[in-house]
Amino acid sequence: MDYLTLAGELAELRARQFKTDVWRRMAKLAHGELLALYTLGVHGGTAYPRQLSAELAVSSARVAAMLRDMEAKGWVLRREDAGDCRQTVVALTDAGRAELTSRREQALAALAAALERLGPEDAEELLRLQRRMNEICTDR
């Protein structure tokens, strides 16, 4: 079996897949502002900008720009840390939670519709194989 050829075919399939509406919606949940909202939620609704920078794997300048835009949209608030006035804390707003919930529900509904078209057996098999690939790729 030529695994290099298979890898090339899989890469091509993934590239085409990410041009579809379903996968674009899913990708948006894992990048940029929506990932920042999710990360804030995981941290109980607050985090320091440096935490976001580290977890999102982006520069502090990118986080600052992102937070400025998110604050303008009403999704987050930046405030002085009560325990250390030199620090800024970012807090998720109700509007930010609602935006994340709405986008997530839309993306999952589109993905669920695609899985339904696969049928139960193929959908389960797809998940099984994806879990296995995640295990293998995480081991590296």
Predicted TM-score (pTM) above 0.85: no
Contact 56, 36 (CB under 8 A): yes
**pLDDT tens by residue, 42-57:** 999 999 999 999 999 9
In Å, how far are 15, 94, 126, 133 from 1, measured between CA atoms?
23, 53, 21, 18
For each of the domains in the chain, give its residue range(s) and CATH number, in order of start: 3-139 (1.10.10.10)
Percentage with pLDDT > 90 across the chain = 54
Among the listed ranges 12-21, 50-59, 93-102, 111-120, which one has the minimum average pLDDT value?
12-21
- Is 20 or 78 the better-scoring residue by pLDDT? 78
* Residue partners of 108: CB distance under 8 A and separation at least 6: none
